Amino acid sequence: MDEFDLKLLQALQEDGRLTNNELGDRVGLSASQCSRRRSALEQAGIIEGYRAALSSEALGLGILAFVHVTLAAHSPDNARRFQELVARTEEVQEAYSLTGDADYLVKIAVPDLKALSRILSEVFLAHGSVAHVHSAIALDRLRKTARLPLMHLRAAPEKRKAKPRLKPQNRGSSRKSASKPAR
């Protein structure tokens, strides 16, 4: 990964809808070079996908809560059951397993306190895998970003232990690549 790849990633984090022509203007490469680099970054799994960022407030989801969850028993089966619960609960935005007092931290977006109470009582606490929940409601969002920091990749190559290499997993013929539409 070189400086052009980093510039390309930064530009796509700012606006994932950029065409290869627009990317080229921003990073100083041709559209075809941007297309090849973008494809390589996608195939390497560095670019996971492209999404629309929705406004929770505009959609009526005014409550953002962080819930610490403690499991009833620590077993692989109980952990699996809880993970399945989290996966099928639409209000759960993110979930993490933790060290410390709680087993999991779950981020929930709901329209109001009544909806939060329902999720905690009827979904989490009613589930056999859960022993305790402790929730905290966000009063104000100080920062919201999905952008990942890239500065550590700009360190001098001799300071990096392992340079990420971009090798497309499944490269087609040049004829096939040329037929792909530019983004």
Q: What is the pLDDT along the chain (183 residues), one digit of tens a residue?
A: 899 999 999 999 999 999 999 999 999 999 999 999 999 999 999 999 999 989 999 999 999 999 999 999 999 999 999 999 999 999 999 999 999 999 999 999 999 999 999 999 999 999 999 999 999 999 999 999 889 999 999 875 555 455 555 655 544 443 333 334 444
First to last CA, the chain: 21
Domain 63-137 has CATH 3.30.70.920: yes
Q: Give, as one character, the DSSP assignment of residue 18.
A: -
| Residue 168, pLDDT score | 53
CA distance 26 to 153: 19
Domain 3-46+164-178 has CATH 3.20.20.70: no
pTM of the full predicted structure? 0.77
Q: Is 110 exposed, middle or buried (0-12, 13-18, 19+ CB in 10 A)?
A: buried
CA distance 65 to 135: 7
Query: Residues of 45-60 as b/e, b for ≥16 C-beta within 10 angstroms?
Result: eebeeeeeeeebeeee
Tell me the domain boundaries of the chain: 3-46+164-178, 63-137
| Residue 155, pLDDT score | 72
Nearest to 63, CA basis, from 114, 102, 125, 105? 114
